Amino acid sequence: MSDRHLGVTIYLTAIIALVLTVLPLPTWFAIVRPQFLVLTVLYWSTMRPRSGGLFLGWSSGLALDVFQGPLLGEHALALAFTTYLAIRLNLLVRAKPLFEQSLFVFAALMGYEFLLWVIDGWSGHPLSTPARWVHTLTGGLIWPLVVGVMGRFDDSR
């Protein structure tokens, strides 16, 4: 697969994930909805650490900020950090079976949400409902599915 093809695929999947993230859903579905865009970024940065890169993470975070951030740059920072971790640890994570990968993803999502929570608190938008943490759990649970679906797009693997 050519560079160009892969680049287009990466940004296309990111846009689809963004649409899934902002799609209006009834309250309870919205709570358990995983952060699709974060999962997509995690996939590309662990499976193809040289292709997506930090720019993908940062720009996806910025997109999330525009749609649902109280503060511009908040999701960008959190997602850039998560992407950085995923890129550094990609060899470690990729070698593990899917179940253990799910645990890593859960931990990454917890870190991501924790950063958001801290920034929310500092900037004066403190929201401490337990509901904000639910997506970390569902995100970890659907990780095997994400790998399966994204593997279809990522045809050289």
Q: Which stretch binds another protein (CB under 8 A): 35-43, 67-75, 99-107, 136-144?
A: 67-75
* 70 touches another protein (CB under 8 A): yes
Contacting another protein within 127-146 (CB under 8 A): 127, 129, 131-132
Cβ-based neighbours of 93, under 8 Å, separated by 6 or more: 46, 86, 101, 104
Q: Provide the 3-class DSSP secondary structure of residue 26.
A: coil
DSSP string, 1-21: --HHHHHHHHHHHHHHHHHHH
> Could you tell me the smallest distance in angstroms from the CB atom of residue 86 to another protein?
10
Burial of 141: CB neighbours in 10 Å, binned 0-12, 13-18, 19+: middle
106, 136 Cβ separation under 8 angstroms: yes
Query: Pattern of binders to another protein over 105-124, x per CB under 8 A?
Result: --------------x---x-
Q: Using CB under 8 A, list all residues that contact another protein.
A: 1, 3-4, 6-8, 10-11, 18-19, 22-24, 26-27, 30-31, 48-59, 61, 66-68, 70-74, 76-77, 80-81, 83-84, 87-88, 119, 123, 125, 127, 129, 131-132
